[in-house]
Amino acid sequence: MTPGIRPLIAGNWKMNGNARSAHELAEALRAAGPSLDASLLVCPPFLHVSLVASALLGTSVAVGGQDCHAKVSGAHTGDISAPMLRDAGATHVILGHSERRADHGETSAQVMEKAEAALAAGLTPVICVGETEAQRVAGEHEAVVGAQLEQSIPLGFITSGGIVAYEPVWAIGTGRTPTEDDIAAMHDFMRRELVNSWGPTASVTRLLYGGSVKPSNATAILALSNVDGALVGGASLVAADFLAIARAVPQE
């Protein structure tokens, strides 16, 4: 963890759940949220953002989207704008997730445009970066992540409290995780890159780790240098598991 930063445990529900399961999960988090030493963020599918935001109204649990379009409105069938997310009750939005970069061919330039739109709408972007297994094996992981940071982060991101999530692509949904040394080394690298590019303000930018985070490994991961929380996938769909990860945050 980074001294002075309140840890954030963010749940990416991806394309899962229905109205009933979303409401039940939100209610479970509503009951437990005040007892935690970490901030919570949940990102349901857009269809359920308003429902979950209503269920969590008056709590400290934040709600976010999983993507947004770079434009405010227009002929973009199937897309969701940042103002729409804001109107539905979201305060955050995940951008540049590896599944979006891979499945939809999103570039870092597009991620930056979306982040600019999110900031303009009053949303906090959670920008994801990470390398493939081939890139890590080739020793290119720092170059890849460094380029993604440089090309995805817009002006105003750091000073507006933007969040960066590192997700080794090969660890997402596989049950595999990098070694603790590898995670700490990458988070230390990202901190240096951000401070070098954006100045001292970036020393308190939240850096989340994402990639098969679960209750059994959360304590060790969350204790690592410059790991200020977690972006949780599958385990965020089970309230008990998600809350166990949040309770694994080390005491300052």
Residues placed in the known binding site: 12-14, 173, 212, 233-234
> pLDDT tens digits for 41-59?
999 999 999 999 999 999 9
134-183 pLDDT per residue, tens: 999 899 999 999 999 999 999 999 999 999 999 999 877 777 778 999 99
**pLDDT tens by residue, 71-126:** 999 999 999 999 999 999 999 999 999 999 999 999 999 999 999 999 999 999 99
Specify the higher pLDDT residue, 176 or 200: 200
pLDDT at 200 over 70: yes
Cite the active site residues.
Answer: 97, 167
Domains and CATH numbers, the chain: 8-247 (3.20.20.70)
CA-based nearest residue to 145, from 188, 198, 114, 180 = 188
User: Mind listing the pLDDT tens digit for each residue in 3-43?
Assistant: 889 999 999 999 999 999 999 999 999 988 667 889 999 99
pLDDT-derived band at 2, boundaries 50, 70, 90: confident
Residue 200 phi, psi dihedral angles, 5° rounding: -60, -25
Binding residues for substrate: 12-14, 173, 212, 233-234
